[in-house]
């Protein structure tokens, strides 16, 4: 399914076109307006700028391409199919790109990572984690779903690593459903294209979210004198918008049910200095086993804890 098309991008976004089509587009526009000077007036630029666009020396704004579509009669779909690059925030750096951007498990993973340990701003998309396998997954998913030749800027931070992707990637991920700004203060839910997506898309989203925000525990219950083995997830939200976090977790629970995994109700787990922590848990051997078989963790530390829980689960009672 198409998710991000040419018209969805900001008007000042700049893209490049394939050489043969680019020459055809500007030649057609020049014929329609009779003179390059007339075309320049319609596009609110100078003749030299048009020459640079035609030769591929400069990338073209989306707003300009929309005008060219109207002047030439060439459809935006055809223009979109001939996009081959996009400008990042570094003016000297371009990335390969094909439009439209389609829904995919990789893109669902990126949305979950953006909701989890990622951060989205007008300037960039960044992702921090202490587990290198999760950093590597984000890089791979960006390259598979958005641009094959992009390499992030990375650096060590707080005993982990952070990778930063340029503005063009950030804009696409915002359109895909990653909330912008401080997530504790922002209203968001699971994007509809993920909630209504196929099983692989849902599983990719859930796995990445639990890799970032989930946990696995063995907890001794004093009353029952037994050990609880749990997978859980919780996130914080400002008290005045706590209902939005509940809605988000209910969407996750519904997707888990569709996969065959039941969970506890969503509840407030405690207060923090920034708001309230809300979450839910998954318990009993069958649910934990289904989670491992159908979703599992890429986070190796959490995967080991889950396996250890299952190996230690006593499913029968022995008579003395």
Which tens digits make up the pLDDT trace of 36-51? 999 999 999 999 999 9
Give the pLDDT band of residue 314 (cuts 50, 70, 90): low
Residue 4 bridge partners (DSSP): 101
Q: What is the mean pLDDT of the chain?
A: 92
pLDDT in tens, 108-135: 999 999 999 999 999 899 999 999 999 9
Instruction: Give mean pLDDT, residues 179-195.
Output: 95
Is the per-residue pLDDT at 221 higher than 60?
A: yes
Domains, the chain, ranges and CATH?
A: 2-97 (1.10.260), 103-181 (3.10.28.10), 212-311 (3.10.28.10)
* Listed residue (235, 127, 137) closest to 185, CA to CA: 235
Residue 223's contacts (CB-CB under 8 Å, 6 or more residues apart) are none
pTM of the model: 0.92
**What is the arithmetic mean of pLDDT over 56-75?**
94
273-310 tens-digit pLDDT: 888 999 999 999 999 999 999 999 999 999 999 999 99
pLDDT at 93 over 80: no
- What is the pLDDT, as a whole number, of residue 272? 81
Over the range 82-103, which residues count as b (16 or more CB within 10 Å of their CB) and which as e?
bbbbbbbeeeeebbebbbbbeb
Please give the structure tokens belonging to residue 90: 């570094």
By residue count, the chain amounts to: 320
Question: What is the C-alpha to C-alpha distance for residues 76 and 54, in angstroms, rounded to an integer?
Answer: 18
pLDDT score of 317: 54
Report the pLDDT value the prediction gives residue 220, as an integer from 0 to 100.
74
């Amino acid at each position: 399914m198409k998710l991000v098309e040419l018209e969805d991008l900001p008007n000042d976004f700049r893209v490049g076109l394939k050489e043969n089509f680019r020459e055809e587009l500007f030649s057609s526009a020049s014929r329609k307006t009779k003179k390059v000077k007339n075309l320049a007036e319609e596009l609110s630029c100078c003749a030299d700028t048009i020459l640079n666009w035609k030769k591929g020396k400069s990338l073209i704004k989306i707003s300009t391409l929309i005008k060219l579509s109207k002047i030439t009669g060439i459809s935006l779909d055809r223009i979109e199919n001939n996009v081959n690059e996009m400008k990042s925030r570094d003016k000297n750096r371009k990335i390969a790109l094909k439009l439209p951007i389609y829904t995919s498990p990789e893109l669902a993973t990126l949305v979950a990572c953006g909701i989890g340990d990622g951060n989205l701003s007008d300037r960039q998309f960044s992702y921090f984690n202490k587990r290198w396998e999760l950093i590597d997954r984000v890089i791979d998913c960006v390259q598979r779903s958005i641009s094959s030749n992009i390499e992030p800027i990375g650096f060590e931070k707080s005993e982990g690593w952070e990778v930063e992707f340029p503005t063009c990637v950030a804009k696409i991920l915002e359109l895909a459903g990653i909330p912008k700004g401080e997530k504790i203060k922002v209203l968001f839910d699971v994007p509809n294209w993920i909630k209504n997506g196929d099983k692989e898309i849902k599983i990719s989203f859930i796995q990445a979210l639990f890799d970032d925000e989930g946990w696995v525990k063995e907890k001794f219950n004093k009353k029952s004198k037994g050990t609880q083995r749990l997978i859980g997830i919780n996130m914080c939200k400002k008290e005045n918008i706590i209902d939005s976090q509940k809605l988000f977790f209910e969407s996750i629970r519904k997707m888990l049910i569709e996969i065959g995994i039941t969970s506890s109700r969503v509840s407030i787990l405690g207060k923090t200095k920034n708001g309230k922590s809300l979450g839910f848990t998954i318990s009993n051997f069958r649910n934990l086993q289904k989670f491992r078989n159908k979703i599992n963790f890429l986070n190796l530390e959490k995967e080991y804890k889950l396996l250890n829980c299952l190996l230690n689960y006593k499913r029968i009672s022995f008579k003395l």
